[in-house]
A and B are shown apart, each in its own frame.
Chain A
Amino acid sequence: MTNSAPLDDIRRKRFALVRSGRWNEADRLAGNAVALGPGELEPGTLAYLPGSPRNGRWSRGVRALSFRAVQAANLGAGREEAVDAALRALTAVGTRDSGTFWQALMVLTYADEVAAAHRIWASKAGRGDVHDLLGGRIMLLRGDPRAAVRLLDGALGRGVHARLRAVAVAWLVLALTEAGEPDRARAVLESERLAGVLAEHPDSAELYFARGRLLLAEGQGAGALDEFLECGRQLASWGVVNPAVLPWRSSAALAAFDAGDLVLARICADKDLVAARRWGAPRGIGLGLHACALARGDDVLLEEAIAYLGRASTADEALRARHDLAQLLLGRGEVERARKHTRRLREAASDLCPQWIDAANVLASRLLRNDGESALSRQERRIALLARAGKSNREIAAELCLTLRTVEFHLTAVYRKMGVAGRPGLRRAFVPTA
């Protein structure tokens, strides 16, 4: 994979160490190799770093500094030190070394220092793949998916360096999904031949993640879950635990929730939140809280999640949390609060994310049809959850030891109380679990 035999050897040893659960020893091995290794090397061979343009022949000290920041970000501890190291490396080389520039800006985005990253990125005017791709990523994280699409699409159209292609496609798919254009996102994947089984690629985690988000937006929870879990498997083989690198666990929790696997949703959400708190960047914490809140049906946690996501996040993530909160409140019969959040969702969506306008309208019409008595009874809730997970009335009757007629009777009440037209509406709606 690299051009140097000793480096290949270190790379192999590193993967073996990670596989045996010796994460820190693996990172030390790689860190030493970068500090002492040959003049030019691709840091992405020794640590997870999507894209990973080569470091030039800059002093080994600078190279080791930015590499250490990447390693800290991957393990998800020591955020301040990582940011500090990234900034110092940037000061030392500026944009003259695209490898260092890439590493430092990636670390800043992982640490939610998006404003700083944007300032630095904008001050170093340039064209070229590295600049456009980083710009796309920064725009996406600043909540401007359309600008991200322009930059990434432009770069791909011109033809990016082969090593950067996968990550450019992955980020473009994410940006298109967030901009409410899933069809275009799907078309990009098809035309790049990245929609099917993926060949081994160092950045495939990014692709799996983007495909998962796309499936989630298309309402295919089970398929999305598979993509996220594969993304997690890829990252685990690299030794990445920080959800800021790719928030696959919280996304998997949302997908598992959609697919009706509440236990898996809770496990993914809890693990994610603990790791996000360890790293301490608000976006990750907000995503973790969102997933935990959904898995537990906890509106207070969701409000907290929105507060975190509002501080640092892509627009889509904050809107999704607001949408889920309105659904949760509606499901609980707290109509007034649900109405308030639906209104705010529509206001925010009309600026940036048109795909959420439809969702807000669906909520609003459900609220209109609502006759004031909408809290589900225990039995209704149980039946609604089973129906939502795709069970037929007959299967539900068998599982709960009821007659078919009783199930139908309860479901009618569920549809009326939730203000949905029938099973398809129910599938898109939120059923409180507790």
Chain B
Amino acid sequence: MSRWSADPGHDCAAAVAVGLLAAGENWTEAVQAAETALASPVCRANPLCVSRALGTLVCAGELVAADTHSLSLLEERPGDRVMAECVLLARACVARHTGDLERCSSLLATLRHNGIADEIRSVALLWKVELLVARGEARAAEALLVAHDVDARIKSGHPGRSLLLSATATVAMATDRPHDALEAHLACGRALAEDGVVNPGVLQWRSHASRAALACGDNEEALRLAMEEHAAAARWGEPRALGRSLSAVARASAPNGEDLTTYERAIRLLEMAHARLELAEVLCDYADRLTAHGRQAAACEIYALARATALDIGDTALVSRVDEVVGCADASGGPVLTPVEAEVARLVRTGLNNREIGTKLAMATRTVELHLTRVYRKLGLSGRRELQVTRWTGTLRTHRGVTGGYSG
């Protein structure tokens, strides 16, 4: 698989970058090699090098750099069709990573596949399948696989077979065939290993496989796959891969309280990585888990957040999943603390007792108690201690927007 593994006898910076990416041990050097390649005139003129360097940047989560380089490459070489295809694919990958599904699919539609390497075509196919599934069009995705004769190509040892296997698995999962999905994901992992790709930043087959294993009822296997992915993602040290692997660990863990903390850490990392597609899904899983813990109120708020994110990125499959679970027309109207309640909750978390809070906010201790009771009820907490240790109330503040942040 020439995209990911270095050719013998060819050791330009782009090849080094892609080798470091595949090995998944040294994030910093992989990024630096990719940027060195894009700064060198020789690599910059070579579509294979450009596609490797941009691919490394995208898989390493350096999306701003990928955006900058790809845009200026398009402008530098207006007549170069082959180069344009490589660069547009990279731009589609950036769009997919940031959760702009609409744009990802329109960029993919402009690719004409003229003279571009076969495995790039497989990448495009995989993204298209993912998009269709996200839009709830699993049947169309299945038809796409048939049209591209994917089964036969996998059997014949196609160079991009790991991608094709991942696409097959995605469709299987979306059409309620978890056993087939698990098998295809495991085959995908084997194919990647044969190509020397061990980095979960390239394809997170283990967390997908873990989800499939859960759907098959094999919790032990699900947890094993998730832990393995987490170990590999921690070695690579990139927030998106790590966040996703943590969410897989949380999903496969027993609901013992630790799982919620793991979800929160995962969400934090995915936010940092600007990974809205994964974020939407993980938020939804997190809300499911909160429900299982009996924290309906907290779950309701997280569902609303998941729904808003899914709506924003155009993941209709996830929107309907949320709507099915919540079953209420107004998913956005979760429990919201009043400003006073929020302030009381905040002061409790800083360690003050009710009397001190009363003095600080100029209210009777009894009133503070009243507010607190309401806070516990709204957030589904058992009491003061849980309020102090839970991270969740922080989300009242931090999950203000769709992915937080200032929006004008």
Contact with B along A1-42 (1 / 0, CB 8 A): 100000000011001000111111100000000000000000
B236 — nearest CB in chain A belongs to which residue?
Answer: A267
In angstroms, Cα B65 to Cα A421, docked, is: 48
Q: Say yes or no: is B196 at the interface (Cβ < 8 Å to chain A).
A: no
B residues with a Cβ closer than 8 A to A are: 27-28, 31-32, 35, 62-65, 67-68, 71, 94-95, 97-100, 103, 234, 237-239, 242, 265, 268-269, 271-272, 274, 312, 339, 342-343, 346, 394, 396-398, 400-408
Contact: B397 with A197, CB < 8 Å?
A: yes
Task: Please tell me which one of the listed residues A23, A196, A238, A270 contacts residue B64 in the complex, with CB atoms under 8 A apart.
Answer: A23
How close is B23's CB to chain A, nearest CB, in angstroms?
Answer: 16
Per the 8 Å Cβ criterion, residues 325-381 of A in contact with B are none
Contact: A229 with B272, CB < 8 Å?
A: yes
In angstroms, Cα B397 to Cα A234, docked, is: 12
In angstroms, Cα B401 to Cα A230, docked, is: 12
A-B interface contact total, Cβ < 8 Å: 110
Shortest Cβ-Cβ A-B pairs, 10 listed: A237-B405, A21-B98, A20-B100, A233-B404, A24-B71, A237-B406, A233-B405, A241-B64, A21-B94, A234-B406
Contact: A24 with B67, CB < 8 Å?
A: yes
Contact: B32 with A274, CB < 8 Å?
A: yes
The verdict on A274 contacting B98 (CB below 8 Å), with A233-B405, A267-B242 known, is no
Contact with B along A207-236 (1 / 0, CB 8 A): 000000000000000000010011011101
How close is A48's CB to chain B, nearest CB, in angstroms?
Answer: 9
In angstroms, Cα B97 to Cα A232, docked, is: 18
Secondary structure type dominating chain A contacts:
helix
Secondary structure type dominating chain B contacts:
helix
In angstroms, Cα B312 to Cα A15, docked, is: 13
Chosen A-B contacts, 5 in total, with CB atoms closer than 8 Å, are A19-B402, A76-B64, A236-B272, A241-B64, A274-B62
Which residues of the partner chain A approach B99 to less than 8 Å between Cβ atoms?
A: 20
Contact: B398 with A226, CB < 8 Å?
A: yes
A residues with a Cβ closer than 8 A to B are: 1, 11-12, 15, 19-25, 75-77, 196-198, 200-202, 204-205, 226, 229-230, 232-234, 236-239, 241, 261, 263-264, 266-267, 270-271, 273-274, 277-278
In angstroms, Cα B400 to Cα A232, docked, is: 14
Which residues of the partner chain B approach A21 to less than 8 Å between Cβ atoms?
A: 63, 67, 94-95, 97-98, 100, 274
In angstroms, Cα B347 to Cα A323, docked, is: 32
In angstroms, Cα B63 to Cα A11, docked, is: 22
In angstroms, Cα B68 to Cα A20, docked, is: 14
The verdict on A263 contacting B242 (CB below 8 Å), with A23-B64, A197-B343, A233-B271 known, is yes
How close is A271's CB to chain B, nearest CB, in angstroms?
Answer: 8
Contact: A197 with B342, CB < 8 Å?
A: yes
Which residues of the partner chain B approach A234 to less than 8 Å between Cβ atoms?
A: 404-406
The verdict on A230 contacting B238 (CB below 8 Å), with A202-B406, A274-B32 known, is no
Considering residues A19, A21, A25, A75, which has the most beta carbons from chain B within 10 angstroms of its beta carbon?
A21
How close is B324's CB to chain A, nearest CB, in angstroms?
Answer: 27
Task: Please tell me which one of the listed residues A20, A202, A241, A278 contacts residue B103 in the complex, with CB atoms under 8 A apart.
Answer: A20
Which residues of the partner chain B approach A23 to less than 8 Å between Cβ atoms?
A: 64, 67-68
B60 — nearest CB in chain A belongs to which residue?
Answer: A274
In angstroms, Cα B343 to Cα A202, docked, is: 22
In angstroms, Cα B238 to Cα A263, docked, is: 10
Which residues of the partner chain A approach B272 to less than 8 Å between Cβ atoms?
A: 229, 232, 236, 267
In angstroms, Cα B173 to Cα A313, docked, is: 53
Contact: B32 with A1, CB < 8 Å?
A: no
Which residues of the partner chain B approach A76 to less than 8 Å between Cβ atoms?
A: 64
Which residues of the partner chain B approach A20 to less than 8 Å between Cβ atoms?
A: 95, 98-100, 103
In angstroms, Cα B398 to Cα A111, docked, is: 30
The verdict on A230 contacting B398 (CB below 8 Å), with A12-B408, A273-B28 known, is yes
B35 — nearest CB in chain A belongs to which residue?
Answer: A278
In angstroms, Cα B406 to Cα A267, docked, is: 24
In angstroms, Cα B406 to Cα A234, docked, is: 5
How close is B159's CB to chain A, nearest CB, in angstroms?
Answer: 29
Contact: A196 with B97, CB < 8 Å?
A: no
Contact: A19 with B408, CB < 8 Å?
A: no
Task: Please tell me which one of the listed residues B68, B397, B403 contacts residue A77 in the complex, with CB atoms under 8 A apart.
Answer: B68
In angstroms, Cα B95 to Cα A23, docked, is: 11
The verdict on A197 contacting B346 (CB below 8 Å), with A75-B68, A267-B242 known, is yes
How close is A209's CB to chain B, nearest CB, in angstroms?
Answer: 14
Contact: B63 with A263, CB < 8 Å?
A: no
Given contacts A21-B95, A233-B271, A273-B28, 19 further A-B contacts (CB under 8 A): A23-B68, A75-B64, A197-B346, A198-B397, A202-B406, A204-B406, A233-B403, A236-B274, A237-B403, A237-B407, A238-B405, A238-B406, A241-B64, A264-B268, A267-B237, A267-B239, A267-B272, A270-B28, A278-B35
B62 — nearest CB in chain A belongs to which residue?
Answer: A274
Contact: B237 with A270, CB < 8 Å?
A: yes
Contact: B68 with A24, CB < 8 Å?
A: yes
In angstroms, Cα B400 to Cα A197, docked, is: 11
How close is B186's CB to chain A, nearest CB, in angstroms?
Answer: 26
Contact: A274 with B31, CB < 8 Å?
A: yes
Which residues of the partner chain B approach A273 to less than 8 Å between Cβ atoms?
A: 28
Which residues of the partner chain B approach A266 to less than 8 Å between Cβ atoms?
A: 237
Which residues of the partner chain B approach A205 to less than 8 Å between Cβ atoms?
A: 406
Which residues of the partner chain A approach B237 to less than 8 Å between Cβ atoms?
A: 263, 266-267, 270
A201 — nearest CB in chain B belongs to which residue?
Answer: B406
In angstroms, Cα B407 to Cα A11, docked, is: 9
Considering residues B32, B269, B404, B405, which has the most beta carbons from chain A within 10 angstroms of its beta carbon?
B405
How close is A309's CB to chain B, nearest CB, in angstroms?
Answer: 20
How close is B313's CB to chain A, nearest CB, in angstroms?
Answer: 9
How close is B243's CB to chain A, nearest CB, in angstroms?
Answer: 10
Which residues of the partner chain B approach A226 to less than 8 Å between Cβ atoms?
A: 394, 398
How close is A260's CB to chain B, nearest CB, in angstroms?
Answer: 12
B61 — nearest CB in chain A belongs to which residue?
Answer: A271
How close is A72's CB to chain B, nearest CB, in angstroms?
Answer: 11
B271 — nearest CB in chain A belongs to which residue?
Answer: A233
How close is B402's CB to chain A, nearest CB, in angstroms?
Answer: 8
In angstroms, Cα B404 to Cα A233, docked, is: 6
How close is B108's CB to chain A, nearest CB, in angstroms?
Answer: 15
How close is A314's CB to chain B, nearest CB, in angstroms?
Answer: 25
